[in-house]
Structure 1
Amino acid sequence: MSLFYEDVGDGPPVVLVHGWPLSHRFWEPQIGPLVAAGRRVVCYDRRGFGCSSRPWHGYDLDTFTADLAALVESLGLTGLALVGFSTGCAEAVRYAAASGRVARLVLGSPALFADPLAHELRAASLRHRIPMLDDLLLRFFAVEGLSALDEPTRQYLLRHAADASATATAESLTAWGTADPRADLARVTVPTLVIQGAGDAFVPLEDGGTRVTRAIAGSSLVTIPAAPHAAALTHAEQWNELVLEFLAR
Structure 2
Amino acid sequence: MTLAYDAAGDGPAVVLLHSAVCDRRMWDPQWPALADAGYRVVRCDFRGFGQSLLPDRRHNDAEDVLDLLDSLGVEQAALIASSYGGRVALEIAARRPDRVSAMALLCSGLPGHEPSDELRAFGEREDALIEAGDIAGAVELNVDTFLGPDAEEAVRDEVRAMQRRAFEVQLAAPEGAGRKNVDIDLSAVKAPGLALSGGLDLADFREIAAGLPGLLGDTRHVELPWAGHLPSLERPAAVTDLLIGFLGETVPAG
Report how far residue 41 of structure 1 moved: 0.5
2:35 and 2:223 map into 1 onto residues whose CA distance is: 24
1:170 and 1:93 map into 2 onto residues whose CA distance is: 28
**Which one-letter code corresponds to 1:69 in the other structure?**
L
Structure 1 equivalent of residue 108 of structure 2: 110
1:184 and 1:123 map into 2 onto residues whose CA distance is: 34
Call closer, same or farther: CA 1:188–1:155 in 2, change over 3 Å.
Answer: same
Deviates more, 1:118-127 or 1:37-46: 118-127
Structure 1 equivalent of residue 11 of structure 2: 11
1:220 and 1:180 map into 2 onto residues whose CA distance is: 26
Report how far residue 195 of structure 1 moved: 1.0
Query: Does 1:83 pair with 2:80?
Result: yes
Call closer, same or farther: CA 1:170–1:140 in 2, change over 3 Å.
Answer: farther
User: Equivalent of 1:126, from 118, 128, 131?
Assistant: 131
CA contact (8 A) 2:49 2:169 kept: no
2:22 and 2:193 map into 1 onto residues whose CA distance is: 23
TM-score by length of 1: 0.85
Call closer, same or farther: CA 1:169–1:246 in 2, change over 3 Å.
Answer: farther
Deviates more, 1:156-165 or 1:112-121: 112-121
Superposed CA offset, 1:201-249 (max 9, x none): 474412x211223211221011112111101111222212221111111
1:220 and 1:133 map into 2 onto residues whose CA distance is: 33
Q: Does the residue aligned with 1:15 lie in a helix, a strand or coil?
A: strand
Call closer, same or farther: CA 1:29–1:65 in 2, change over 3 Å.
Answer: same
Q: Where do residues 29-68 of structure 1 align in structure 2 (5 Å cutoff)?
A: 29-58=29-58, 63-68=60-65
1:39 and 1:95 map into 2 onto residues whose CA distance is: 20
Q: Does the residue aligned with 1:164 lie in a helix, a strand or coil?
A: helix
**Which one-letter code corresponds to 2:76 in the other structure?**
G
Tell me how many residue pairs correspond in the alignment: 236
Q: Where do residues 15-26 of structure 1 align in structure 2 (5 Å cutoff)?
A: 15-26=15-26
CA contact (8 A) 1:93 1:184 kept: no
Structure 1 equivalent of residue 194 of structure 2: 193
Q: Runs of 5+ in structure 2 lacking a partner?
A: 250-254
Superposed CA offset, 1:133-187 (max 9, x none): 2111122112xxxx2211222112212221225463799xx97xxx897x43222
CA contact (8 A) 2:109 2:205 kept: no
Query: Does 1:231 pair with 2:226?
Result: no
Query: Does 1:184 pair with 2:189?
Result: no
2:243 and 2:218 map into 1 onto residues whose CA distance is: 17
CA contact (8 A) 1:13 1:40 kept: yes
Larger RCO: Structure 1 or Structure 2 (Cα < 8 Å, ≥ 6 residues apart)? Answer: 2
CA contact (8 A) 1:15 1:83 kept: yes
Q: Where do residues 200-215 of structure 1 align in structure 2 (5 Å cutoff)?
A: 200-201=201-202, 203-206=204-207, 208-215=208-215
Q: Runs of 5+ in structure 1 lacking a partner?
A: none
**Which one-letter code corresponds to 1:248 in the other structure?**
G
Superposed CA offset, 1:64-95 (max 9, x none): 11111110111111231011110111111111
